[in-house]
C-alpha cells in the first residue's frame, strides 16, 4: 500500500501574506478572502495578490484573532478591540476599542457575538452590548461559542458552561478533561475537541448528552484546534502538531494531511470553506493552504514507489496497481502490500516499457532487453512448447529465449483480439502472436505473425490497439499508421494529406475517430480526412506523449506541460481544458504511452515525477462561477456614478471598470459585456477588465457585464443610464423648425419661380443676340484673310506690272479677284459643296505659290466622295492650309515643302486632310509659332466648336492633329484631320 501526495497550494510571506500565522479566515460578498494574522494586520486576497490593512490604515491592532463578515462588512477582533471595515472601500469605517483582547467572533441565528477574555457582547446597531452584567470570564479561557438546543454554550479551559448560568456544568464529571477547544454537531452526535485528549463523542440523551467514546483512537492525546464540517458533510479536524484529518462522508474513510502530504505546517489554527467549495487551512507559521479537492492524487518515491520516472501503468481487474518505474523491474501494489518484481525476486533489473492485462486476467510485461514475462495468479506451471520456458518463480514466467525473439529481446506493447489471442510488438522481429491455454496447467503457444497484402510489418511498432471494428491499428516508427484487418495489412493513405511516417501514440475516440501523435502535433482522422492540432488550436504543447480516451467521450493528451482534456466539436475545433501544476497535476511532464483507464473510470498518468490518477467520481463540480462587480463607472474618465444616471446630451462618453474574484483559478477569468441599446450581441470573451463607449447617441442604455471560466458564467450585473436628447432634437423644437422651414421654403420656391421666369426671358433675349453676333462673326471670319497674304499678293502683282510682265500680272490679278469673289459669295451660305471649296483652295494655293515659289501642292479626291453635296461650312479648310504654309513649311532647307489636301469618304462621314512635310509642331513650338498659333487662333477654336455641334451624337472624332515622324522619330510634318457627317 502506498501513500498519496495531496495537492496543496500554500501562501505565506514570500507570496505576499503579511505574516505567517493565520488565526481566522472569512469571505466577503465579492468573493475576497480576509485573513487575520498575528502581527501583520488584516490581509485581503483575490487569489493572486494580497492587500494589507494595518494600524496605519486605522486598524486597532495588528494582532487579529477572529473574523466575521456580513455582505461587504468585515468584523475584525483584535487585541485592542473590534474594527469594522468596508470591503469595497478597503478601509476601517468604525472602531470599538476594548480593554481586553477579542477571542471569538461568531454569528448564531443572525446575531453576532463578541467574546473577549472577560465578557460576552452582542453587536447591535453600531455598538457592543454586554449580555449580562453578572457574567465575568476572568477565571475562564474562552475557546468556542455554540448553540446547544436552546442554550448558548461557551466552551472553556474548565469545561462547557451555559451563558445564562456559569454554574451550569454541561459535561459529565467522569470525563478525563474539561478543556474543550471546539464543539460541532455531526450526524446526530456532538463532537468535542479537547486540549490533549483528542475528540470526545456524545449522544443526545434527554436534556443532556451521554459520552460514547472518550476519544477516537487516531486522535488520542492530540490537541484539537479546529473541527469543521464542509458543505459535502465531510468532517475536518485540525490539530496542533499533526496537521489536519478529513473524514469522507461518502467513502466512510479518514485521510490525513500533514507536511509529508504537502501541508505547509502541521500546526493548524483554522479551517474555512469558500464559495467554490475549496478548503483553506490557516496555520501557525506556514501561512495559509488552499485545498481544491482530490482532482488528482499523486504518488512518488516518498509515497512508496521505487522510482519517480514512470514507464508504464496498469490497474488490474482485481484492483491491483502495476507500475513500472525508473527504479527497475515492476511493482504490484494492493491494499496490503507493495511487491517489487526484480532480479532478486525472479524477474529482471531492466526497464519495463509495456504492461497489459488480458481477458483471462494474466498480466503481460514487456521489457527492454529481456523479452517478456507473464504473471499468473497461480504458482504451478509446465514447460512450454519449443523449450522457450526458461524458469518460473511463484507466478512470474519469463520468456527471454533467442528462439522466440531471434533479433531482439525488446517488447514495446501488447494487444488482444476478440478471440483472446495476444499480439506482441517487438523491436526487430515484427509481431508475434500468443495463444494461451489455461486448463490444469497454463500453456502459451507463440507464432510469428504473417500477413497478406502489399505491406510488410514494420519492425518498429510504437503503439497498437484493436479498434471497435476488430482491426489492429499500428503506430509505427517508419511506415505511418498500419491497419491489420482479417490477416491483410495496409498502411493508411489519406487523399490530399500527409500522415507522417513516425507515429508515437494512437487511440480511438468515442465516435470512431482516430487520434495519433506525430512531429506535426496531434492528428485526428475524421471521415477519411486528417486534421492536425497544435498550440494554435488551444493545446498546451505541440509535443504529444500520451493519448487516452475516457468513458465520457473526452480524449486526454499528455505533454511536457501536463495533460489536456479534449472535446471534439462538430466544427472539428477543439474544446480544451488544461491540467497543470495549478490544477493539481503536479507531475507535469508525462511519459511516453504511460496512461491507463481502469474499470472504475479512473485515469492514470505516468510522469517523469511520479504517478498521477484522476478520479472523476470524486470530483464534485461547483456551479459557482466567478463573482463580478463594478470597480468604477466614469464619465469622461472623471465622474463616478451611482447605480443609475440621467445624462445630458453632451455627457456621452462612459468608461466601465469591473473586476471579479475566482479563487480556484484567478488567472483564467474572462469577461463579456454588452451595452443594450448599442450592442446586439455579447462581446467575445476577453481578459480586459474595462471598456469605454464614446459619442453615444441619446437614448436609454443598460450596460451588462459577466465573468466566467470555461463554460461557467456568472449572472450579469448591470448599470442603467439615459442620455437626454439635445433641445434641437426635442419634438417642440422640431415642430417649430419644420413649420418655420416650410414657410421659408414656400417663400424661397415662389422667389425662385419668379426669378427663373425673369432669367428665362433674359436668357432668350441674350441667346438671340449672341446668335446674331455669332453669324456676323462667321461672316467676318470668312472675309478675314491673312493681311500679310493680301499685301504680299498685291505687291507681287504690282511688281509684275512694273516689270512690264502684263500677261502674268493679268493672270494672277484674275485669280486674286476670283478668290475674293468666291469668299464673298460663299459667306452668304451656311454650307457649300466640296467642289466650291476645292475651287477656292486652288485659287488660294496658286496665289500663295506664286508669292513664295518654295512649295508644291496636291489636291486628292477619292472615289465615293460626292463633290456636289452641300456639306462643308465655308472657309473650313483654308485656315489650316494657310497655317501649314506659313508656319509648317517655314525654315525648311533640306527638302522642298509640299502641301497635300485629301477628301476621303468614311463610314457616315467625309474626312478632310491637310498634310505638310514641314518642321512639325515640336520645332514650331520652339519658335513659338505653329502650336501657339493653333491654340490661340480664334478661327481654329470656332472651327472646332462648329464641327462638334455639326457632329453631335456621333461616335467619331471631329478634329485631330497628327504629328508625322520618320523612322528615327524626327519630325516630318503635321496632318490635320477634319470629319463631317453626311
**Reduced to 3 states, what is the DSSP secondary structure of residue 788?**
helix
Q: How far apart are CA 91 and CA 714, in angstroms?
A: 27
pLDDT at residue 931, as a whole number = 41
Please tell me which of 105-114, 749-758, 802-811, 828-837 the model is most confident about, judged by mean pLDDT.
105-114
**All cell numbers assigned to 664:** 480556484
Closest CA to 610 of 624, 590, 625, 595: 590
3-state secondary structure 287-333: CEEEECCCCEEEECHHHCCCCCCEEEEEECCCCCEEEEECCCCEEEE
Q: What percentage of the chain exceeds 70 in pLDDT?
A: 86
pLDDT at residue 764, as a whole number = 79
pLDDT in tens, 674-696: 999 999 999 999 999 999 999 99
pLDDT in tens, 130-159: 986 666 677 788 999 988 777 888 888 887
Task: Indicate whether 851 pLDDT > 70.
Answer: yes
Which single residue is written with the C-alpha cell 466650291? Answer: 836
What are the backbone angles phi and psi of residue 422, rounded to the nearest 5°?
-100, 130
Closest CA to 519 of 585, 462, 577: 462
**Residue 646: Cβ within 10 Å count:** 11
pLDDT at residue 732, as a whole number = 77
Please work out, in degrees rounded to the nearest 5, the angle formed at the alpha carbon of residue 715 by the alpha carbons of 711 and 719: 130
Task: Indicate whether 433 pLDDT > 70.
Answer: yes
Look at 76-80, 240-244, 563-567, 827-831 and tell me which has the smallest mean pLDDT: 827-831
Question: What is the average pLDDT across 163-187?
Answer: 73
CB 93 within 8 A of CB 107: no
Which single residue is written with the C-alpha cell 464559495? Answer: 275
What are the backbone angles phi and psi of residue 953, rounded to the nearest 5°?
90, -5
Q: What is the DSSP letter of 539?
A: -
**All cell numbers assigned to 55:** 494600524
Which single residue is written with the C-alpha cell 457575538? Answer: 113
pLDDT at residue 5, as a whole number = 59
Q: How far apart are CA 92 and CA 680, in angstroms?
A: 42
Rounded to two decimals, the pTM is: 0.64
| Domain 627-726 falls under CATH 3.40.50.300 | no
Give residue 750's Cα distance to chain centre.
Answer: 64
Question: What is the average pLDDT across 171-176?
Answer: 59
Give residue 906's Cα distance to chain centre.
Answer: 70
- Residue ranges of alpha helices (H) inside 490-628 are none
Q: How far apart are CA 498 and CA 489, in angstroms?
A: 19
pLDDT at residue 368, as a whole number = 92
Binned at pLDDT 50, 70 and 90, residue 206 comes out as: low
Q: What Å distances lie between residue 277 and 282, 636, 712, CA to CA? A: 16, 41, 15
CB 783 within 8 A of CB 822: no
Q: At what angle do helices 834-852 and 787-802 cross, to 10 degrees?
A: 60
Average predicted confidence (pLDDT) for the chain: 85
Binned at pLDDT 50, 70 and 90, residue 635 comes out as: confident
- Residue 494, CB-side half-sphere exposure with 13 Å CA sphere: 18
Q: How far apart are CA 922 and CA 929, in angstroms?
A: 10
Which single residue is written with the C-alpha cell 500533514? Answer: 258
Q: How far apart are CA 321 and CA 705, in angstroms?
A: 49
The residue with greater pLDDT, 591 or 879, is 591
CB 64 within 8 A of CB 23: yes
**Reduced to 3 states, what is the DSSP secondary structure of residue 808?**
helix
Please tell me which of 489-498, 664-673, 937-946 the model is most confident about, judged by mean pLDDT.
664-673
Binned at pLDDT 50, 70 and 90, residue 1 comes out as: very low
pLDDT at residue 620, as a whole number = 58
pLDDT in tens, 111-128: 999 999 888 999 998 899
Question: What is the average pLDDT across 294-322?
Answer: 90
Question: What is the average pLDDT across 57-69?
Answer: 97
Question: What is the average pLDDT across 262-274?
Answer: 95
Task: Indicate whether 934 pLDDT > 60.
Answer: no
Task: Indicate whether 787 pLDDT > 70.
Answer: no
Task: Indicate whether 221 pLDDT > 50.
Answer: yes
Which single residue is written with the C-alpha cell 489471442? Answer: 421
pLDDT in tens, 369-403: 888 999 987 544 444 444 344 334 457 888 877 66
Look at 27-31, 852-856, 929-933 and tell me which has the smallest mean pLDDT: 929-933
pLDDT at residue 163, as a whole number = 79
What CATH class does 8-138 carry?
A: mainly beta
pLDDT in tens, 580-608: 887 788 889 999 999 999 999 999 999 99
CB 371 within 8 A of CB 405: yes
Question: What is the average pLDDT across 226-251?
Answer: 93
Task: Indicate whether 932 pLDDT > 60.
Answer: no
Question: What is the average pLDDT across 271-286?
Answer: 95
Question: What is the average pLDDT across 348-354?
Answer: 93
**All cell numbers assigned to 440:** 490444469
CB 312 within 8 A of CB 594: yes
Q: How far apart are CA 522 and CA 675, in angstroms?
A: 40
> H or E stretch including 379?
none
CB 657 within 8 A of CB 630: yes
Q: Please list, in sequence order, all residues whose beta carbon lies within 8 angstroms of the beta carbon of residue 302, skipping any fewer than 6 positions away.
A: 3, 5, 260
**All cell numbers assigned to 778:** 462667321
Task: Indicate whether 22 pLDDT > 60.
Answer: yes
Q: How far apart are CA 213 and CA 197, in angstroms?
A: 11
CB 44 within 8 A of CB 50: yes
Bridge partner list, 313: 323
What are the backbone angles phi and psi of residue 696, rounded to the nearest 5°?
-70, 140
Q: What Å distances lie between residue 465 and 413, 519, 601, CA to CA? A: 9, 21, 19
Task: Indicate whether 453 pLDDT > 90.
Answer: no
Bridge partner list, 297: 613
Interstrand relation of 717-723 and 644-647 (parallel, antiparallel or unpaired): parallel
Question: What is the average pLDDT across 518-530?
Answer: 91
**β-sheet with 363-367: strand ranges across:** 352-357, 363-367, 372-375, 396-399, 391-393
**Residue 836: Cβ within 10 Å count:** 19
Could you say which of 3.60.21.10, 3.30.565.10, 3.40.50.1260, 3.90.1150.10 is the CATH number of the domain covering 831-981? 3.30.565.10
Task: Indicate whether 874 pLDDT > 90.
Answer: no
pLDDT at residue 759, as a whole number = 85
Closest CA to 27 of 337, 280, 382, 351: 280
Q: What Å distances lie between residue 293 and 32, 198, 232, 554, CA to CA? A: 20, 25, 12, 21
Q: Please list, in sequence order, all residues whose beta carbon lies within 8 angstroms of the beta carbon of residue 296, skipping any fewer than 6 positions away.
A: 7, 579, 583, 584, 585, 586, 612, 613, 614
Closest CA to 103 of 148, 33, 36: 36
CB 978 within 8 A of CB 876: yes
Q: How far apart are CA 483 and CA 491, in angstroms?
A: 6
Q: What is the DSSP letter of 400?
A: -
pLDDT at residue 930, as a whole number = 43
pLDDT at residue 853, as a whole number = 66
Q: How far apart are CA 369 and CA 347, in angstroms?
A: 13
The residue with greater pLDDT, 824 or 347, is 347
pLDDT at residue 593, as a whole number = 96
pLDDT in tens, 640-670: 666 567 888 888 899 999 999 999 889 889 9
Q: How far apart are CA 474 and CA 516, in angstroms?
A: 10
> H or E stretch including 126?
none
Question: What is the average pLDDT across 738-761?
Answer: 87
Q: Dihedral, CA atoms, 397, 402, 408, 411, nearest 10 degrees?
A: -20
Task: Indicate whether 106 pLDDT > 60.
Answer: yes
Q: How far apart are CA 292 and CA 10, in angstroms?
A: 12
3-state secondary structure 651-702: CCCEEEEEEEECCCCHHHCEEEEEEECCCCCCCCCECCCEEEECCCCCEEEE
Q: Please list, in sequence order, all residues whose beta carbon lies within 8 angstroms of the beta carbon of residue 537, skipping any fewer than 6 positions away.
A: 573, 574, 576
Binned at pLDDT 50, 70 and 90, residue 564 comes out as: very high
CB 500 within 8 A of CB 480: yes
The residue with greater pLDDT, 778 or 846, is 846
Closest CA to 288 of 20, 666, 584, 6: 20
pLDDT at residue 394, as a whole number = 53
Amino acid at each position: 500500500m502506498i501513500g498519496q501526495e495531496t495537492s496543496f497550494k500554500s501562501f505565506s510571506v514570500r507570496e505576499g501574506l503579511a505574516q505567517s500565522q493565520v488565526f481566522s479566515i472569512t469571505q466577503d460578498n465579492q468573493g475576497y478572502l480576509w485573513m487575520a494574522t498575528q502581527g501583520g494586520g488584516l490581509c485581503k486576497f483575490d487569489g493572486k495578490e494580497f492587500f494589507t490593512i494595518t494600524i496605519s490604515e486605522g486598524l486597532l491592532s495588528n494582532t487579529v484573532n477572529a473574523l466575521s463578515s456580513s455582505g461587504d462588512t468585515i468584523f475584525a477582533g483584535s487585541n485592542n478591540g473590534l474594527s469594522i471595515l468596508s470591503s469595497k472601500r478597503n478601509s476601517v469605517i468604525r472602531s470599538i476599542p476594548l480593554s481586553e483582547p477579542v477571542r471569538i467572533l461568531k454569528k448564531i441565528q443572525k446575531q453576532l457575538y463578541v467574546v473577549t477574555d472577560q465578557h460576552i457582547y452582542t453587536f447591535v446597531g453600531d455598538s457592543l452590548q454586554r449580555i449580562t452584567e453578572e457574567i465575568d470570564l476572568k477565571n475562564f479561557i474562552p475557546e468556542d461559542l455554540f448553540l446547544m438546543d436552546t442554550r448558548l454554550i461557551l466552551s472553556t479551559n474548565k469545561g462547557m458552561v451555559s451563558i445564562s448560568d456559569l454554574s451550569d456544568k454541561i459535561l459529565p464529571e467522569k470525563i478525563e478533561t474539561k478543556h474543550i477547544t471546539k464543539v460541532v454537531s455531526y450526524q446526530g452526535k456532538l463532537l468535542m475537541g479537547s486540549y490533549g485528549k483528542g475528540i470526545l463523542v456524545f449522544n443526545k440523551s434527554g436534556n443532556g448528552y451521554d459520552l460514547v467514546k472518550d476519544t477516537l483512537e487516531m486522535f488520542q492525546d492530540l490537541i484539537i484546534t479546529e473541527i469543521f464540517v464542509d458543505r459535502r458533510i465531510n468532517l475536518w479536524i485540525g490539530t496542533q502538531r499533526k496537521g489536519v484529518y478529513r473524514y469522507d462522508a461518502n467513502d466512510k474513510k479518514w485521510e490525513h494531511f500533514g507536511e509529508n502530504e504537502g501541508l505547509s505546517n502541521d500546526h493548524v489554527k483554522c479551517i474555512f470553506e469558500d464559495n467554490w467549495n475549496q478548503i483553506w487551512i490557516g496555520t501557525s507559521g506556514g501561512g495559509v493552504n488552499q485545498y481544491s479537492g482530490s482532482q488528482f492524487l499523486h504518488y512518488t518515491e516518498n509515497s512508496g514507489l521505487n522510482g519517480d520516472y514512470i514507464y508504464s501503468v496498469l490497474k488490474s481487474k482485481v484492483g491491483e496497481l502495476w507500475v513500472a518505474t525508473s527504479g527497475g523491474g515492476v511493482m504490484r501494489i494492493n491494499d496490503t502490500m507493495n511487491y517489487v518484481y526484480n532480479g532478486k525476486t525472479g524477474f529482471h533489473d531492466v526497464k519495463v516499457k509495456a504492461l497489459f492485462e488480458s481477458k483471462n486476467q494474466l498480466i503481460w510485461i514487456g521489457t527492454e532487453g529481456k523479452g517478456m514475462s507473464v504473471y499468473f495468479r497461480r504458482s504451478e506451471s509446465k514447460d512450454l512448447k519449443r523449450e522457450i520456458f526458461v524458469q518460473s518463480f511463484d507466478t512470474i514466467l519469463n520468456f527471454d529465449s533467442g528462439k522466440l525473439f531471434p533479433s531482439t529481446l525488446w517488447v514495446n506493447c501488447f494487444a488482444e483480439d476478440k478471440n483472446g489471442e495476444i499480439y506482441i510488438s517487438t523491436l526487430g522481429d515484427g509481431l508475434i502472436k500468443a495463444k494461451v491455454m489455461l486448463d490444469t496447467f497454463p500453456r502459451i503457444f507463440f507464432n510469428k505473425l504473417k500477413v497478406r497484402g502489399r505491406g510488410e510489418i514494420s519492425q518498429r511498432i510504437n503503439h497498437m490497439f484493436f479498434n471497435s471494428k476488430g482491426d489492429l491499428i499500428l503506430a509505427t516508427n517508419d511506415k505511418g499508421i498500419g491497419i491489420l484487418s482479417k490477416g491483410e495489412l495496409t498502411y493508411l493513405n489519406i487523399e490530399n494529406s500527409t500522415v507522417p511516417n513516425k507515429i508515437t501514440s494512437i487511440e480511438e475516440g468515442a465516435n470512431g475517430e482516430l487520434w495519433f501523435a506525430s512531429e506535426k502535433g496531434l492528428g485526428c482522422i475524421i471521415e477519411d480526412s486528417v486534421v492536425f492540432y497544435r498550440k494554435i488550436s488551444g493545446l498546451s504543447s505541440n509535443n504529444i506523449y500520451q493519448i487516452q480516451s475516457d468513458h465520457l467521450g473526452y480524449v486526454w493528451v499528455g505533454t511536457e506541460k501536463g495533460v489536456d482534456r479534449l472535446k471534439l466539436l462538430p466544427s472539428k475545433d477543439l474544446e480544451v481544458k488544461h491540467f497543470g501544476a495549478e490544477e493539481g497535476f503536479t507531475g507535469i511532464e508525462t511519459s511516453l504511452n504511460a496512461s491507463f483507464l481502469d474499470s472504475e473510470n479512473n485515469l492514470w498518468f505516468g510522469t517523469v515525477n511520479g504517478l498521477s490518477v484522476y478520479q472523476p467520481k470524486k470530483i464534485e463540480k461547483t456551479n459557482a462561477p466567478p463573482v463580478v462587480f463594478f470597480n468604477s463607472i466614469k464619465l469622461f474618465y472623471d465622474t463616478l456614478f451611482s447605480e443609475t444616471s440621467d445624462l445630458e446630451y453632451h455627457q456621452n462618453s462612459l468608461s466601465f471598470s469591473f473586476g471579479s474574484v475566482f479563487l480556484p483559478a484567478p488567472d483564467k477569468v474572462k469577461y463579456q459585456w454588452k451595452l443594450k441599446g448599442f450592442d446586439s450581441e455579447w462581446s467575445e470573451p476577453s481578459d480586459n477588465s474595462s471598456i469605454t463607449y464614446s459619442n453615444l447617441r441619446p437614448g436609454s442604455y443598460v450596460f451588462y457585464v459577466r465573468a466566467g471560466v470555461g463554460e461557467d458564467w456568472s449572472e450579469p450585473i448591470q448599470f442603467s443610464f439615459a442620455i437626454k436628447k439635445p433641445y434641437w432634437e426635442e419634438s417642440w423644437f422640431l415642430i417649430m423648425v419644420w413649420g418655420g422651414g416650410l414657410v421659408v421654403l414656400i417663400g424661397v420656391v415662389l422667389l425662385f419661380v419668379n426669378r427663373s421666369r425673369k432669367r428665362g426671358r433674359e436668357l432668350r433675349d441674350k441667346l438671340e443676340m449672341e446668335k446674331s453676333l455669332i453669324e456676323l462673326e462667321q461672316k467676318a471670319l470668312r472675309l478675314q484673310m491673312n493681311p500679310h497674304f493680301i499685301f504680299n499678293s498685291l505687291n507681287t502683282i504690282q511688281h509684275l506690272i512694273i516689270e512690264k510682265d502684263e500677261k502674268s500680272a493679268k493672270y494672277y490679278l484674275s485669280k486674286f479677284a476670283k478668290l475674293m469673289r468666291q469668299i464673298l459669295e460663299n459667306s452668304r451660305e451656311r454650307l457649300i459643296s466640296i467642289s466650291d471649296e476645292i475651287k477656292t483652295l486652288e485659287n488660294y494655293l496658286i496665289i500663295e505659290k506664286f508669292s513664295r515659289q518654295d512649295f508644291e501642292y496636291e489636291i486628292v479626291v477619292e472615289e465615293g466622295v460626292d463633290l456636289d453635296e452641300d456639306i462643308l461650312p465655308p472657309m473650313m479648310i483654308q485656315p489650316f492650309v494657310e497655317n501649314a504654309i506659313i508656319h509648317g513649311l517655314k525654315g525648311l532647307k533640306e527638302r522642298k515643302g509640299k502641301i497635300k489636301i485629301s477628301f476621303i469618304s468614311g463610314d457616315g462621314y467625309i474626312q478632310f486632310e491637310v498634310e505638310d512635310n514641314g518642321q512639325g509642331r515640336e520645332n514650331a513650338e520652339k519658335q513659338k509659332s505653329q502650336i501657339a498659333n493653333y491654340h490661340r487662333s480664334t478661327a481654329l477654336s470656332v472651327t472646332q466648336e462648329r464641327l462638334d455641334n455639326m457632329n453631335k451624337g456621333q461616335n467619331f472624332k471631329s478634329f485631330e492633329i497628327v504629328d508625322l515622324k520618320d523612322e528615327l522619330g524626327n519630325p516630318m510634318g503635321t496632318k490635320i484631320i477634319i470629319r463631317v457627317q453626311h
